[in-house]
Amino acid sequence: MRYIDIQLTRKFKRHRKAYSQAITALDALAYSRHSSSFAALPFEARTALLKVFEKGENSKAFNMVLDHTLQGYFGSPRHGGNKDYASWRMLGVPPMPVRGRLQYSLEDAASRGGLS
Protein backbone atom coordinates (compact mmCIF):
# COMPACT_ATOMS: atom_id res chain seq x y z
CA MET A 1 0.00 0.00 0.00
CA ARG A 2 2.80 2.44 0.86
CA TYR A 3 4.40 1.76 -2.53
CA ILE A 4 1.21 2.63 -4.40
CA ASP A 5 0.61 5.75 -2.28
CA ILE A 6 4.12 6.99 -3.04
CA GLN A 7 3.94 6.12 -6.73
CA LEU A 8 0.58 7.89 -7.15
CA THR A 9 2.48 11.10 -6.39
CA ARG A 10 5.21 10.17 -8.89
CA LYS A 11 5.29 7.60 -11.65
CA PHE A 12 1.61 6.62 -11.40
CA LYS A 13 0.19 10.17 -11.35
CA ARG A 14 -1.65 9.42 -14.57
CA HIS A 15 -3.53 6.60 -12.77
CA ARG A 16 -4.99 8.75 -9.98
CA LYS A 17 -8.36 9.11 -11.68
CA ALA A 18 -8.54 5.36 -12.40
CA TYR A 19 -7.77 4.57 -8.75
CA SER A 20 -10.42 7.01 -7.56
CA GLN A 21 -13.01 5.54 -9.93
CA ALA A 22 -12.09 1.97 -8.93
CA ILE A 23 -12.45 2.75 -5.21
CA THR A 24 -15.80 4.42 -5.83
CA ALA A 25 -17.02 1.48 -7.94
CA LEU A 26 -15.87 -1.06 -5.35
CA ASP A 27 -17.63 0.80 -2.55
CA ALA A 28 -20.80 1.09 -4.68
CA LEU A 29 -20.70 -2.66 -5.27
CA ALA A 30 -20.27 -3.26 -1.54
CA TYR A 31 -23.20 -0.99 -0.68
CA SER A 32 -25.42 -2.60 -3.32
CA ARG A 33 -24.73 -6.12 -2.04
CA HIS A 34 -24.11 -5.61 1.68
CA SER A 35 -25.37 -2.11 2.57
CA SER A 36 -21.91 -1.36 3.89
CA SER A 37 -18.65 0.13 2.72
CA PHE A 38 -16.03 -2.27 1.38
CA ALA A 39 -13.64 -1.46 4.25
CA ALA A 40 -16.26 -2.32 6.87
CA LEU A 41 -16.98 -5.79 5.47
CA PRO A 42 -15.48 -8.94 7.01
CA PHE A 43 -12.58 -10.58 5.19
CA GLU A 44 -14.68 -13.28 3.52
CA ALA A 45 -17.16 -10.76 2.12
CA ARG A 46 -14.37 -8.49 0.85
CA THR A 47 -12.72 -11.47 -0.86
CA ALA A 48 -16.00 -12.51 -2.53
CA LEU A 49 -16.61 -8.92 -3.67
CA LEU A 50 -13.11 -8.66 -5.14
CA LYS A 51 -13.75 -11.84 -7.15
CA VAL A 52 -16.88 -10.23 -8.61
CA PHE A 53 -15.02 -6.97 -9.21
CA GLU A 54 -12.18 -8.82 -10.97
CA LYS A 55 -14.52 -10.54 -13.44
CA GLY A 56 -16.88 -7.63 -14.06
CA GLU A 57 -16.68 -4.35 -15.92
CA ASN A 58 -13.92 -3.18 -13.57
CA SER A 59 -11.48 -5.95 -14.46
CA LYS A 60 -9.05 -3.46 -16.03
CA ALA A 61 -8.90 -1.44 -12.79
CA PHE A 62 -8.55 -4.61 -10.73
CA ASN A 63 -5.62 -5.77 -12.87
CA MET A 64 -3.95 -2.36 -12.67
CA VAL A 65 -4.06 -2.44 -8.86
CA LEU A 66 -2.89 -6.06 -8.83
CA ASP A 67 0.04 -5.21 -11.12
CA HIS A 68 1.06 -2.27 -8.94
CA THR A 69 0.75 -4.38 -5.79
CA LEU A 70 3.04 -7.05 -7.24
CA GLN A 71 5.52 -4.40 -8.38
CA GLY A 72 5.61 -3.00 -4.85
CA TYR A 73 5.97 -6.41 -3.21
CA PHE A 74 8.68 -7.79 -5.48
CA GLY A 75 10.43 -4.54 -6.44
CA SER A 76 13.27 -2.69 -4.80
CA PRO A 77 12.57 -1.25 -1.33
CA ARG A 78 14.02 2.07 -2.49
CA HIS A 79 10.71 2.68 -4.32
CA GLY A 80 8.62 2.31 -1.15
CA GLY A 81 7.62 -1.35 -1.27
CA ASN A 82 9.17 -4.69 -0.30
CA LYS A 83 9.75 -3.56 3.29
CA ASP A 84 12.87 -5.10 4.82
CA TYR A 85 13.38 -7.07 1.56
CA ALA A 86 10.57 -9.41 2.67
CA SER A 87 9.81 -10.88 -0.76
CA TRP A 88 13.47 -11.16 -1.69
CA ARG A 89 14.24 -13.01 1.55
CA MET A 90 11.27 -15.29 0.88
CA LEU A 91 12.70 -16.09 -2.57
CA GLY A 92 16.29 -16.35 -1.35
CA VAL A 93 17.42 -13.31 -3.36
CA PRO A 94 20.22 -11.39 -1.65
CA PRO A 95 19.54 -7.67 -1.12
CA MET A 96 21.14 -5.54 -3.81
CA PRO A 97 23.35 -2.60 -2.82
CA VAL A 98 21.65 0.78 -2.82
CA ARG A 99 22.36 2.54 -6.08
CA GLY A 100 24.91 5.30 -5.78
CA ARG A 101 26.71 3.85 -2.77
CA LEU A 102 29.94 1.99 -3.22
CA GLN A 103 30.02 -1.18 -1.19
CA TYR A 104 33.76 -1.57 -1.61
CA SER A 105 36.86 0.48 -2.25
CA LEU A 106 37.74 1.14 -5.89
CA GLU A 107 41.36 0.40 -5.07
CA ASP A 108 40.41 -3.03 -3.68
CA ALA A 109 38.37 -3.79 -6.83
CA ALA A 110 41.26 -2.82 -9.08
CA SER A 111 43.68 -5.01 -7.15
CA ARG A 112 41.33 -7.97 -7.62
CA GLY A 113 41.09 -7.33 -11.36
CA GLY A 114 37.59 -5.81 -11.17
CA LEU A 115 38.65 -2.45 -12.63
CA SER A 116 41.47 -1.60 -14.93
- What integer pLDDT is reported at residue 50 of this predicted model? 96
Q: What's the rounded Cα separation, in Å, for the pair 13 and 11?
A: 6
State the average pLDDT over residues 52-80: 93
3-state secondary structure 4-72: HHHHCCCCCHHHHHHHHHHHHHHHHHHHHHHCCCHHHCCHHHHHHHHHHHHHCCCHHHHHHHHHHHHHH
So what's the pLDDT on residue 98? Answer: 60
| pLDDT for res 95 | 81
Identity of the residue numbered 91: L
* Collapsed DSSP state (helix, strand, coil) of residue 94: coil
Q: pLDDT tens for residues 15-41? A: 999 999 999 999 999 999 999 999 999
Q: Which pTM does this prediction carry?
A: 0.74
Helix (H, G, I), strand (E, B) or coil at 83: helix
What per-residue confidence (pLDDT) applies to 96? Answer: 74
Share of the chain above pLDDT 90, in %: 66
pLDDT digits (tens, 9 = 90+) for 72-95: 999 988 888 888 889 999 999 888
